[in-house]
């Protein structure tokens, strides 16, 4: 690194491999959520990107089973109950994966930690989720151990907000922002950052200047994913902030669209486009979507049975 730009990377080739320096016009930090880029910038006298965190205290347990039509013909199920006061959030998934296998994931939050004990895994699958979870955990052949994972927070590094940035440097993927993995945004986000990088480079940018335009594009992707994931996280009983401005309104409208998406195919389609990151969350805030959600609410059979329900 010189006074104005990054000039390459040092490679540590491990035991016996020594060190090597590779010169580069552009260095991309894609080292994931534990990226040390902020430290490296700081050591060389540059400001760190501001770090924002949403504490989620997520605990995962995952096991893989051989798919067996005698147990279930289901390919994929995602189950999430609506947590309320005094209720523990339950999120789990059964996913068909390559090699004729199911991957089964159960989540706990805060002090609720699914362990590596297969009996505990099966008990949780049976007690907390739709029957297919328990059927697979109890009757299908488990391939390997139950493995666990803990993630303390969702985090984003706001490179767009840094006052001074060296030229010849960008970051992408989890090195910029990593979210609660329950919402499956990480791979799509990383791919969209790669698209931003491609678009920026095709515009023949000056590589001797900071990549401000690239980080402005990435910000749009990060803001969208962050809004979706943190709004959902803030509905979890153990997550108590930080609340962004307008959170109650956004969360209320989001709840309405989510609830009514179970009754209205077009709403479901629009919501899926947002959760799969084909569309920006603001596409759900237009009058057309909201009118549709309210109309579905008025038609909601549960509401008709119980007029007191709002």
Ligand X SMILES: Cc1cc2nc3c(=O)[nH]c(=O)nc-3n(C[C@H](O)[C@H](O)[C@H](O)COP(=O)(O)OP(=O)(O)OC[C@H]3O[C@@H](n4cnc5c(N)ncnc54)[C@H](O)[C@@H]3O)c2cc1C
Give the interface with ligand X as residue ranges (CB under 6 A): 30-32, 60, 149, 173-175, 178, 181, 184-188, 190
Question: What's the closest the beta carbon of residue 171 comes to ligand X, in angstroms?
Answer: 9
Q: 272 vs 198, 261, 285, CA distance in Å?
A: 26, 9, 14
Closer Cβ to ligand X, 29 or 264, answer by number: 29
In terms of CB distance, is 26 or 251 closer to ligand X?
A: 26
Residues paired with residue 106 on neighbouring β-strands, in sequence order = 61, 92
Non-local (6+) Cβ contacts of 108 within 8 A are 59, 61, 88, 114
Query: Considering beta carbons, is residue 7 or 188 the nearer one to ligand X?
Result: 188
Is residue 181 within 8 Å of 154, Cβ to Cβ?
no
Tokens of 117: 């004990």
Tokens for 130, please give them: 């739709």
Task: Give the closest residue to 43 by CA, choosing from 93, 6, 80, 84.
Answer: 6
Q: Give the residue with the Cβ less far from ligand X, 264 or 275.
A: 275
Q: Please, which residue, 114 or 186, has the CB nearer to ligand X?
A: 186
CB of 39 to ligand X, least distance (A): 11
Separation CA 33–CA 172 (nearest Å): 10
Residue 238 CB, shortest distance to ligand X, in Å, is 19
Q: Nearest approach, Cβ of 251 to ligand X (angstroms)?
A: 23
Q: How far is the CB of 144 from ligand X (least distance, A)?
A: 15
């Amino acid at each position: 690194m010189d006074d104005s730009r990054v000039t390459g990377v040092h490679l540590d080739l491990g035991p016996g491999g020594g060190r090597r320096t590779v010169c580069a016009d552009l260095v991309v930090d894609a080292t994931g959520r534990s990226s040390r880029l902020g430290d490296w910038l700081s050591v060389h006298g540059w400001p760190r990107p501001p770090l924002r965190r949403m504490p989620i205290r997520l605990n995962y347990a995952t096991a893989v089973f051989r798919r067996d039509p005698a147990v279930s013909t289901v390919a994929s199920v995602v189950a999430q109950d609506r947590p309320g006061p005094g209720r523990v959030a339950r999120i789990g998934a059964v996913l068909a994966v390559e090699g004729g296998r199911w991957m089964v994931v159960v989540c706990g939050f805060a002090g609720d930690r699914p362990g590596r004990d297969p009996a505990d895994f099966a008990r949780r699958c049976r007690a907390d989720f739709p029957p297919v979870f328990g059927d697979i955990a109890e009757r299908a052949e488990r391939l390997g151990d139950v493995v666990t994972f803990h993630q303390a927070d969702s985090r984003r590094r706001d490179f767009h907000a840094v006052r001074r940035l060296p030229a010849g440097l960008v970051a992408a993927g989890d090195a910029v922002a990593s979210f609660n993995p329950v919402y499956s945004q990480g791979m799509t986000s990383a791919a969209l950052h790669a698209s931003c990088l491609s678009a920026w480079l095709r515009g023949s940018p000056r590589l001797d200047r900071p990549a401000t335009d690239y980080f402005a594009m990435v910000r749009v992707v990060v803001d969208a994913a962050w809004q979706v994931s943190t709004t959902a996280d803030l509905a979890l009983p153990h997550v108590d902030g930080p609340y962004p401005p307008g959170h109650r309104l956004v969360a209320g409208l989001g709840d309405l669209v989510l609830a009514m998406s179970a009754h209205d195919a077009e709403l479901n389609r629009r919501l899926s486009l947002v959760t799969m990151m084909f569309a920006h969350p603001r596409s759900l805030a237009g009058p057309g979507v909201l009118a549709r959600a309210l109309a579905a609410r008025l038609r909601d059979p549960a509401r008709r049975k119980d007029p007191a329900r709002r």
